[in-house]
Amino acid sequence: MTTAPARGDDGTSVSAPADPNALITAYGSHVLAVEPTGAEPVPESARHGSALGLLWTWLSPNMEFATVYIGVISVLFFGLGFWTATAALLLGTAVGSATHGWLSVYGPRFGVPQMVAGRLAFGRWGNALPAALNAAGAGLGWFAVNSVSGAFALATLSGMPTLLCLVLVVIAQIAVAYLGHNFVHGFERYALPPLTVVFLAASAVTLGKAHLGGAASTTGTTGGFLLAFSTAFGYAAGWNPFAADYTRYLPAATARWKVALYPAVGVFVGVSLLAVVGAASATIATGERNPTAAFTGHLPGWLGNLTLLAIMLGAVSANAINIYSAGMSFVSLGLRKLPRGPVALVIGALGFLVAWSGLSDAGHSYEAFLLVIAYWVAPWLAVVFTDEWLRRRAGSTDATAAEQMADAGYEVWAGPIAMVAGTVLSVLLFSSQEQFTGYLVRAAPSIGDLTCLVGFALTAVLYAGLRRVPALAPSR
């Protein structure tokens, strides 16, 4: 493999370019080449692809067992009936998918990763907060979640030790992410057909055997509904900080409605379908402790084995995106001289260690992780969207925004301050986890977990107000 094709599309050598953009331009649409760029903007000469490709790029990584499991925990952990869980899951997924589509438009507008675009609302140094959280969440948290499900599936199928299976799954995931943007898109495209066929077949059998009717199918408390909403939102919106990473190579003239629509549809369809099937599977008693074995235990033997293979493929599909974007977030901290590929290798190795530690209690660890994602992503979205609204009111142009992103002295301290304050206050007052319950929820348990909703609203108001303070407003 090379860091870029030896020759460009016109046949000329690009081994020692005079033009600093020549390597990335020569990279073009080549799939079997290591992406040569990091956090810097993709020039128009290197733009390629169509918005339609975003549909499978975001549908494929959601065809995985981690998606199924958010439905499982809604019934088993939150005490909801099937139809109540379904309503909460669809609502949370819809909100997270809509925000994902909106953020995807930043890619063709500016040609930069999502976390670089975040400098508009957080400033150069303030942006280190969400970028670091995203690098850790994607490269360690999400990577661990999906690696564990893939390892369990391989262990169930092969009988090999779970730790060995984890190592094999991690190696496959890192290999895909190391090559970079084009290979990730290509991998998702060709992984989608087998994932779709197998999961649809498994879903049909599961829904046929599930106990969906009866009075118990609509049971559950308001608190349980809000927890299910938050976990579904956390799952779907967990992709939001990656959105522009996969659209920044699209030509600037690409219709923005298409760039927004296809990622949103991909996330919503993939997440909502399998989450609802997961809720249905939780109504089938199996007695299995292994999560993947519990999901496949009621399937015919041949379909169960195919589903286990699909779970492994889905884990690789999801984590290819997680590792790639974790690396993008890391280099977006301003460390442009670090090569993206080796950074992905290091993040993958660290993610393996986190996954190893989570093998013993995957279910409850996953629940807590999804809620934590929702807790910080909602305030981050509030800052980004409020900043966009204020910019439009002020008549700011994309050209001005691009200059501010590239300005090493550009700061907006209102962003990180509002995000920290909104996150901390909403968690202290409204969170409802096994490890910590907010003060207002302790006093009135019926309130439920309103953390992400309050966090978003509070942070948006704080940011709009703090932007009026000269010392915290955009510095240039």
User: pLDDT tens digits for 297-306?
Assistant: 788 888 988 9
Q: Report pTM.
A: 0.87
**Which pLDDT does position 10 carry in this prediction?**
41
Place of tokens 């096994």: 434
374 Cβ contact partners less than 8 Å away, ≥ 6 residues apart: 230, 231, 233, 234, 237, 451, 452
pLDDT, one tens digit per residue, over 39-52 is: 788 888 889 889 99
**Which pLDDT does position 365 carry in this prediction?**
61
Question: For the residues of 161-178, what is the DSSP string, one character each?
Answer: -HHHHHHHHHHHHHHHHH
pLDDT, one tens digit per residue, over 29-85 is: 777 777 777 778 888 888 988 999 999 999 999 998 889 989 988 888 888 999 999
Q: Which amino acid is at 278?
A: G
- Give the rounded percent of residues in the chain with a pLDDT score beyond 70: 84
> What is the rounded average pLDDT for all residues in the chain?
84
Confidence of residue 252 (pLDDT cuts 50, 70, 90): very high
Within 308-368, strands assigned E span none
425 Cβ contact partners less than 8 Å away, ≥ 6 residues apart: 454, 455, 458
CB neighbourhood size of 355 (10 A):
27
In contact, 323 and 146? CB cutoff 8 Å: no
Q: How far is CA 138 from CA 91, 113, 125, 152, 374, in A?
A: 23, 14, 20, 20, 13
In contact, 210 and 281? CB cutoff 8 Å: yes
∠ Cα 352 168 166 (to 5°): 45
> Average pLDDT in the 402-427 region?
93
Q: Of 242-246, 343-347, 465-469, give the lowest mean pLDDT range.
A: 343-347
